[in-house]
Amino acid sequence: MHWSRRFLLHLLHCSFYPKQHESTSFHPPAAGHGNIFEPNPEGAGKAYRWYFGGPAGSIDMPELVGKSTYGEYYQGVDNWFTANNVDSVKDFVQTYVQDIPECGNTKKNGTPRPLPSDGYVKHDSLGNSHPGPCEVWCDDTRVFHDANCAGKFAGEVPTKIPIDLKTCKPASELVFYWLALHVQPWQVYINCVALDGAGAPGSSSKNSTSTASKATTAPTYTFDEIDEGSVGDDADQGEAAETPVSTNAPETQAPTATTAPSTSSSKCLRRRA
């Protein structure tokens, strides 16, 4: 990228992120790596009216990755979570970080949105970013998790994250969590979207996902340190899931209802009391 554009982006990021207080475990947001855009969150206050793709905060915990190298940071975190009885990124944030905003740079109770009709939450740049676990929650039920989302969705921009529409339909809120593992301190991203309660129109599909999946070895990435979070909101949102085509039964025989076998391996994780 030309140096003048990098400088302009740097100035824009500086204007978007006002200073916040610091503690031993929390740092003010730095340049961001994007956000979900379907369903679409709202920025929290004037400071984030036009851009809320920055991190909710940063965490000083080098022990999360142990002695693992960059490409295996996510595996180090997964091992640390297991050893310390941490069930999820949400659990980690709520247990170990005290001063991080609950919804990051987005509103807790914004304008209610419908669920995506194709059963995929869309993120503008997750598939071309840093390793680390991400999750989607509908109220207190986890409907997606992967230990290394950048590896799972490598090269997919925008990124389509599968969720269980049936589980999410009665929910009042959808929340996206992501722990980005590139340099210390680690960045935490949180996007909240209020749901309208109507569910996805004309769809009750369930996409396949696993709450306990172990991602394969992530590809090696190289990144421009200044040009972060520059993926536009007008990115292609991808095609909707393919709808099965029904066939007509013979005139002399009534159609026989059959139950299609489920292809989903999804598991929903509920928050511990």
3-state secondary structure 90-156: HHHHHHHCCCCCCCCCECCCCCCECCCCCCEEEECCHHHCCCCCEEEEECCEEEEEECCHHHHCCCC
User: How much is the pLDDT for 84?
Assistant: 96
**9 found inside a domain:** no
Distance of CA 47 to the CA centre of its chain: 22
44-78, pLDDT tens digit by residue?
Answer: 988 888 788 889 998 999 999 999 998 899 999 99
Q: DSSP letter at 201?
A: T
Res 12 pLDDT > 80? no
Q: How many domains does the chain have?
A: 1
Left if phi > 0, otherwise alpha if psi is -120 to 50, otherwise beta: which for 234?
alpha
Going by DSSP bridges, is the β-strand pair 186-194/173-180 parallel, antiparallel, or unpaired?
Answer: antiparallel
Tell me the backbone φ, ψ of residue 91, rounded to 5 degrees.
Answer: -60, -45
**259 found inside a domain:** no
Tell me the backbone φ, ψ of residue 130, rounded to 5 degrees.
Answer: -90, 155
Tell me how far apart the alpha carbons of residues 152 and 33 are, in angstroms, rounded to a whole number. 17
**152 found inside a domain:** yes
**7 found inside a domain:** no
Extract the tokens encoding 6: 């990098």
Q: Which pLDDT band, with edges at 50, 70 and 90, does 33 fall under? A: confident
Res 139 pLDDT > 90? yes
Side chain identity, residue 59: I
Q: DSSP letter at 202?
A: T
Give the range among 94-98, 113-117, 238-242 with minimum mean pLDDT.
238-242
**239 found inside a domain:** no
Domain hosting 58: range is 21-217+225-233+265-270
156-207, pLDDT tens digit by residue?
Answer: 999 999 999 999 999 999 999 999 998 889 999 999 999 997 655 444 445 5
For range 211-216, the mean pLDDT: 38
Extract the tokens encoding 223: 């990144």
User: Is 10 in contact with 226 (CB distance < 8 Å)?
Assistant: yes
**258 found inside a domain:** no
Q: Which pLDDT band, with edges at 50, 70 and 90, does 29 fall under? A: very low
Higher pLDDT, 257 or 107: 107
Closest CA to 118 of 207, 191, 194, 5: 207
Residue 10: Cβ within 10 Å count: 14
User: How much is the pLDDT for 207?
Assistant: 57
Look over the chain and give the mean of its residue pLDDT values, rounded to a whole number: 72
Extract the tokens encoding 225: 């340190």
Q: Which pLDDT band, with edges at 50, 70 and 90, does 15 fall under? A: very low
Left if phi > 0, otherwise alpha if psi is -120 to 50, otherwise beta: which for 154?
beta
**8 found inside a domain:** no
**252 found inside a domain:** no
**Residues with Cβ < 8 Å from 96, sequence gap 6 or more?**
25, 59, 61
